[in-house]
């Protein structure tokens, strides 16, 4: 039987979640300290030492004393070679150092453009640029043919260059919470793209049809924009598993939404939906559906009574205080910040909900008289 959770207040629940997260972090810290003090690390060290001694043919009498392992590196030095134990300890650092050679990271409001030296590092596989004042991505990005991850969240980027379509190996593109108003059709040439995050740009109204070519996409987040309908190209993304189009201006859903037969999570809250199409019932893998809105007056009964394990969450919207401000940009920035906070909360809430394989009967329906 399906489960419906109706929530009326995010602010109180957010407080509960923050307390819960804090306690969880404290537990993790204590567990880490416990493991560090436990004998596990010592046993692992002794075992590695014994293996190395055996490889070198060192007799047990040399490294065992009264049945206990004597981790004395002099035993290994006697045989004229550097202890493997030292090498094994150094190996993770060497691996991390080698890996970091292919990752570019940049943050801080002192940056208004990318450094010139970046164009020489075309071997990079990942860019992580966030919380800067950078507004443009240079055309020379086309030279980075090995790029796999392009994380550009929380900057001031106002457009993406057409050259981004040259990144044939790109798997992750995150340009959330920037100032984008459109997406170049050339992005459809990134045939190996698996994750696309355009959330929080506030002004995107449509996606180019060319994005229909992105058949490897499994995750699309276009929340907190100005979409009036689900883009046609999204309905043709045959492997899509996660779609977040919350906080937009949707008034209805397409009747052929069940084309997304691989979709598992559909987030629709904070739109202007008046009804939900019955086609949602025909989506075999849909396991989480989140909606909201005081305008929502009609939905298929089968959604709430689904026997497929669908978790249906209905979030009631409440009027949000309008901030009186002469500066339009400041209003948009306040909205963007609020969306960021709400997305963090929803992410934590959904992760917890998805972890529940079953809900006890006495919590099948939860009613909380609280205010968003």
In sequence order, what are the residues at sequence separation of 6 or more whose Cβ sits closer than 8 angstroms to the Cβ of residue 128?
103, 104, 105, 106, 107, 149, 151
Helices 10-37 and 328-355 pack at an angle, to 10 degrees, of 60
Identify the pLDDT of residue 85: 44
In whole angstroms, what separates CA 268 from the centre of its chain? 17
Average pLDDT of span 337-365: 66
In angstroms, how far is the first alpha carbon of the chain from the final one?
28
Q: Give all strands of the β-sheet with 3-7 in edge-to-edge order.
A: 103-107, 126-130, 149-151, 172-174, 195-197, 219-221, 242-244, 265-267, 288-292, 311-315, 3-7, 365-368
Write out pLDDT tens, residues 193-245: 999 999 999 999 999 999 999 999 999 999 999 999 999 999 999 999 999 99
Contact between residue 209 and residue 236 where contact means Cβ atoms under 8 Å apart: no
Identify the pLDDT of residue 326: 47
How far is residue 249's CA from residue 262's CA, in Å, rounded to a whole number? 24
Question: Angle 191-192-197 (CA atoms, 0-180°, nearest 5)?
Answer: 95
Range of weakest confidence among 15-24, 35-44, 212-221: 35-44
User: Tokens in use for 34?
Assistant: 């416990």
Maximal CA-CA distance, the chain: 83
Strands 311-315 and 265-267: what pairing?
Answer: unpaired
Confidence class for position 56, pLDDT limits 50, 70, 90: low
Strands 311-315 and 288-292: what pairing?
Answer: parallel
For the chain, which domains are there? Answer: 14-69 (no CATH), 95-315 (3.80.10.10)
In sequence order, what are the residues at sequence separation of 6 or more whose Cβ sits closer than 8 angstroms to the Cβ of residue 328?
none
Average pLDDT of span 148-158: 97
Contact between residue 198 and residue 222 where contact means Cβ atoms under 8 Å apart: yes
Grouping H, G, I as helix, E, B as strand and the rest as coil, residue 361 is helix
Bridge partner residues of 186 (DSSP): none
Average pLDDT of span 89-115: 79
Of 25-29, 69-73, 124-128, 291-295, the range with the highest mean pLDDT is: 124-128
Average pLDDT of span 330-343: 76
Higher pLDDT, 28 or 13: 28
Range of weakest confidence among 88-102, 233-247, 271-285, 317-331: 317-331
Grouping H, G, I as helix, E, B as strand and the rest as coil, residue 174 is strand
Identify the pLDDT of residue 301: 78
Confidence class for position 359, pLDDT limits 50, 70, 90: very low
Write out pLDDT tens, residues 168-198: 999 999 999 999 999 999 999 999 999 999 9
Higher pLDDT, 313 or 128: 128
pLDDT over 80 (residue 69): no
Identify the pLDDT of residue 98: 62
Of 136-145, 271-280, 285-294, the range with the highest mean pLDDT is: 136-145
């Amino acid at each position: 039987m399906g489960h419906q959770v109706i929530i009326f207040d995010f602010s109180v629940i957010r407080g509960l979640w923050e307390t819960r997260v804090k306690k969880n972090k404290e537990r993790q810290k204590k567990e880490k300290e416990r493991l560090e003090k436990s004998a596990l690390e010592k046993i692992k060290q002794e075992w590695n030492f014994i293996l190395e001694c055996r490889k070198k043919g060192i007799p047990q009498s040399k490294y065992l004393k009264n049945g206990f392992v004597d981790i004395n590196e002099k035993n290994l030095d006697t045989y004229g070679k550097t202890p493997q134990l030292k090498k094994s300890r150094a190996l993770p650092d060497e691996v991390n150092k080698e890996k970091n050679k292919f990752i570019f990271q940049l943050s801080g409001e002192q940056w208004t453009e990318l450094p010139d030296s970046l164009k020489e590092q075309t071997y990079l596989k990942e860019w992580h640029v966030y919380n800067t004042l950078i507004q443009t991505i240079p055309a020379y990005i086309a030279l980075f043919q090995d790029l796999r991850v392009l994380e550009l969240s929380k900057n001031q980027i106002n457009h993406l260059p057409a050259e981004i379509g040259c990144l044939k190996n790109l798997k992750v593109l995150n340009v959330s919470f920037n100032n984008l108003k459109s997406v170049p059709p050339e992005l459809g040439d990134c045939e190996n793209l698996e994750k696309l995050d355009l959330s929080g740009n506030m002004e995107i109204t449509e996606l180019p049809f060319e994005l229909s070519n992105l058949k490897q996409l499994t995750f699309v987040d276009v929340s907190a924009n100005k979409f009036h309908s689900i883009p046609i190209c999204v309905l043709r993304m045959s492997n899509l598993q996660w779609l977040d189009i919350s906080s937009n201006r949707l008034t209805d859903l397409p009747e052929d939404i069940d084309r997304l037969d691989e979709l598992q999570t559909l987030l629709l809250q904070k739109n202007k939906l008046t009804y939900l199409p019955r086609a949602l019932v025909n989506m075999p893998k849909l396991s989480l559906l989140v909606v909201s809105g005081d305008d929502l007056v009609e939905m298929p009964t089968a959604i709430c009574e689904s026997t497929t394990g669908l978790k249906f969450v209905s979030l009631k919207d409440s009027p949000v205080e309008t901030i009186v401000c002469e500066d339009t940009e400041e209003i948009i920035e306040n909205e963007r910040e609020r969306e960021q906070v709400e997305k963090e909360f929803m992410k934590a809430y959904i992760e917890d909900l998805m972890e529940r394989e079953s809900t006890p009967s006495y919590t099948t329906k939860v009613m909380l008289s609280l205010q968003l």
